[in-house]
Amino acid sequence: MRAKKTLTLILITTILATYIAIPRKIDEKISLLGREFSISYDIPSLNFALGPIKVSEDFNLQQGLDIAGGVYLVFNANAQDLPEDMRGEALKSLEENIRRRVDIYGLGEVTVRTVQSVDGYRLIVEIPGEIDPQQAISLIGETARLNFKLEQELLPEATVSATIDDLFGLETGLNGALLKKSTVVFDPNTGSPQIAISFNEEGREKFAQITKDNVGKRLAIFLDEFVLMAPVINEPILNGDAVISGSFEINEANLIASQLNAGALPVDLELVEQNRISPTLGQSSIRKGVIAGLVGVVIEAIFMIAIYGRLGFLAIIGLMIFGIWSVALYKIIPVTLTMPGIAGFLLSLGMAVDSNILIFERMKEELRGGKPLKIAMELGFGRAWDSIRDANVNTLIICFVLFNPFEWSFLNTSGMVRGFAITLGLGIFLELFTSIVVVRNIMRVFYTREISAGVKSDKK
């Protein structure tokens, strides 16, 4: 009874995972055995509301540059001239600023990360889609520009069509080169986040004069000609250290502090590598990869059924559930799928087959020893577990090294290799669950008779 309840829960989960995993829209023509077949459907998005919570999800699979096409850029970030204790903040600010620039210009979902290499720091930018590489290089390669501008009075009739530049048109001479650093602090009375800024000696003098002459006016802070905020000057600030208060959330305050530091701690970028990947080439690669994967899966299915009969068929059902759950998980996390990532998935699928073979062979040994089927089945799973566990733990350690979550400079930092590591690692966890839990419960419910002619002949 317990096995049936578990299997029912697995079935419900698989149905939900199938809805998530299946492509939202397909309009393809397939040639098979000299005939052409057309497949076309369009599944609506998931839309529902639970009180204030609204969900609208298409469950699209994120594709990497080698599949969707796009631009891959590597810059050398010259942060060596900065004090060592400020480099981490400067690189974090650089990432935020580049990501903001790309979002503003609508270049799509960009991946921006900094890594430490043997000879310094590298900024890696991956932009999917059809864009001009030179446009991306010029957009990303500029150093952040931070400026402070004062509010100016406008005539009533001019305020209707006034732009940001009209409202804050008074230059102050205060810029990012004079700002030492920005940090997040907390109000000692309310505990709410605030943003503290401090200027160097030259900036302190200018800031003191500006605040002394313009109490009650707003001082806008521009980054790359976009307004970050426009706080009101409440009092003269003579020591060059100011605190900007407001109804900030902690994440918002951290983001603004990083953006201010992007102008206060400029990091020059030097392009060292660029690659333009055609989406046509990417789609051709994934089509060939999928065909190769399907051929491999069919061969595995034939082998399992030929060797283990009905038992092998039940194992194939478990592998199908494994595949559905894997794709659904890629969409939920989400995982950016690359060709190495597909290879990681197929490798984990092969390891799932290996786990089933280990279990079935242990079962056959118990049956040859005269154990009843039910006991042999449970012993097969239990005694195969040690071998399955050791093999998969070793593979997970390799995945950890390849993924390099702590950005160690002496290990891999390639996004493609990391894509392989994450799909292989996720596949290992799912493979362990489907082999030990899913297939086991399927067998407990549906497999009650003697194993196969192969086992009986062995007993003779």
How far apart are the C-alpha atoms of 334 and 347, rounded to whole Å? 20
Position 246 in a domain:
yes
Same domain assignment for residues 453 and 330:
yes
CATH no. for residue 108? 3.30.70.3400
SS3 sequence, the chain?
A: CHHHHHHHHHHHHHHHHHHHHCCCEEEEEEEECCEEEEEEEECCCEEEEECCEEEEECCCCCECHHHHCEEEEEEEEECCCCCHHHHHHHHHHHHHHHHHHHHHCCCCCCEEEEEEECCEEEEEEEEECCCCHHHHHHHHHCCCCEEEEECCCCCHHHCCCCCHHHHCCEEEEEEHHHEEEEEEEECCCCCCEEEEEEECHHHHHHHHHHHHHCCCCEEEEEECCEEEECCECCCCCCCCEEEECCCCCHHHHHHHHHHHHHHHCCCEEEEEEEEEECHHHHHHHHHHHHHHHHHHHHHHHHHHHHHHCHHHHHHHHHHHHHHHHHHHHHHHCCCCECHHHHHHHHHHHHHHHHHHHHHHHHHHHHHHCCCCHHHHHHHHHHHHHHHHHHHHHHHHHHHHHHHCCCCCCCCCCCHHHHHHHHHHHHHHHHHHHHHHHHHHHHHHHHCCCCCCHHHHHHHC
In a domain, 42, yes or no: no
Boundary residue ending a domain (226, 247, 274): 274
pLDDT tens track for 258-274: 778 777 656 778 889 88
Q: Which pLDDT value is given to residue 60?
A: 79
pLDDT tens, position by position, 143-191: 667 889 998 887 676 666 778 888 888 899 898 888 888 899 999 888 8
Same domain, 430 and 300: yes
Q: What's the pLDDT band for 459 if we cut at 50, 70, 90? A: very low
230 within domain boundaries: yes
Co-location of 78 and 132 in the same domain:
yes
Residues 230 and 331 in one domain: no
Same domain for 312 and 452? yes
Higher pLDDT, 135 or 215: 215
4-13, 125-134, 145-154, 296-305: which is most confident = 4-13
Looking at the domain assignment, is residue 40 inside a domain? Answer: no
Instruction: Please state, rounded to an integer, the average pLDDT across all residues of the chain.
Output: 82
Nearest to 195 by CA among 228, 158, 162: 228
CA gap 273, 287 in Å, rounded: 28
Q: Which residue has the higher pLDDT, 158 or 200?
A: 200
**pLDDT value of position 397:** 95
Rounded to an integer, what distance in angstroms lies between the CA atom of residue 294 and that of residue 301?
10
Q: Which pLDDT belongs to residue 51? A: 57
Do 240 and 255 lie in one domain? The reply is yes
Domain identity same for 136 and 150: no
**Domain harbouring 227, CATH code:** 3.30.1360.200
pLDDT at 68 over 70: yes
Looking at residue 347, which CATH number applies to its domain?
Answer: 1.20.1640.10
Mean pLDDT, rounded, for 281-294 = 73
- Write down which residue in 242, 267, 292 finishes a domain: 267
What is the rounded distance in angstroms from the CA atom of residue 427 to the CA atom of residue 449? 31
In a domain, 337, yes or no: yes
> How many domains does the chain fold into?
3
Q: Give 453's pLDDT tier (boundaries 50, 70, 90).
A: very low
Based on the domain organization, do 437 and 454 belong to the same domain? Answer: yes
Does 29 reside within a domain?
no
Domain of residue 372: give its range.
2-22+278-459
248, 274, 300 - which closes a domain? 274
pLDDT digits (tens, 9 = 90+) for 420-439: 999 999 999 999 999 889 99
In a domain, 350, yes or no: yes
pLDDT tens digits, one per residue of 331-350: 888 888 888 888 899 899 88
Phi and psi angles of residue 79, each rounded to the nearest 5 degrees, phi first: -100, 0
In a domain, 46, yes or no: no
At residue 52 the predicted structure's pLDDT band, cuts being 50, 70 and 90, is: low
Identify the top-confidence range among 24-28, 96-100, 198-202.
Answer: 198-202
Beta bridge mates, 223: 146, 226
Whether the full predicted model's pTM is greater than 0.85, yes or no, is no
Residues 189 and 250 in one domain: yes
440 and 317 assigned to the same domain? yes
Q: In terms of domains, do 180 and 209 share one?
A: yes
* Residue entry with tokens 């989406």: 279
Does 161 share its domain with 195?
yes
The pLDDT confidence band at residue 198, using thresholds 50, 70 and 90, is very high
Tell me, what's the pLDDT at 48?
56
pLDDT of residue 340: 87
